[in-house]
Amino acid sequence: MMKSIRTFLILGFLIVNLSIQAQYNFLQGIGAFVGETSSRDRYKNGYPLDFKDDPTFLHAQPPSHNSTERESWSVGIYAEMLKGGDWRWVSEIDYCNKGAREEDELLNPITNQTTSATNKYGNLQWNNYLKRWIDLGFRFKTYAMLGVRAEYSMIRSTPAYSYIAGNARKITASPDVGIGAEFHLKGHWNLFVEEHYNPDVLSVYNKNKVTLWNRTWETRVGIIYRFKSGIGSVDMDCNAPRYHGR
């Protein structure tokens, strides 16, 4: 009986120890960030511009154009995974505010009456990237990121062109390209800054010859706790000699 209990405890200890080792080898760090976003909408209207073929001015509702940038904010948490010298997998949850400012929304094509309004989209995102460390010779680490953002539009306010923007798809996926730099603070804590480019490749609205896309830039600053001290879970100077004893 005692022998069985001892064997069970030893096996349990080994399983827990191996699980912890696997977790530490796979999960490299966890972090959080805040960001500043700059986004705009792009409309393409396929109706002809001449009055003979378009007597009801459908080409002007809305006209083909790029809106003005809307500045807002984002916040998120993430985990960095995979044990490797160059490549990592980053998975994150991001609440990202997007939108667009319409300075001259055309209300009446006959009188050229216009108005100004701002469309706002509060999107909950699940983002996944491949992250590649790139050594540029600095004391801090630099990297590039390529991935996909899957997002759900939780909150919408669409006073401008509401018949289009208000009916855009709520669930979308879009590519993301980013660059960043990571700076060692102290112990297991690091600071990072990133710049992300996130355009809609697939339109979020495409009906009746009218198509809508969004494009967003996101600038981030955040902190990451790494389970091994240093930048990228490696020493800041990988070539430094180490003392191994005699």
Which domains are delineated in the chain?
20-226 (2.40.160.20)
**pTM of this prediction?**
0.80
- Checking if the pLDDT of 21 tops 70, the result is no
Least confident of 87-96, 105-114, 136-145, 237-246: 237-246
**173-222: per-residue pLDDT in tens?**
999 999 999 999 999 999 999 999 999 999 999 998 999 999 999 999 99
Q: Which of 124, 119, 126, 125 is nearest to 156 (CA)?
A: 119
Whether the bond between 62 and the residue before it is cis, its omega within 30 degrees of 0, is yes
**58-75: per-residue pLDDT in tens?**
666 788 999 999 999 999
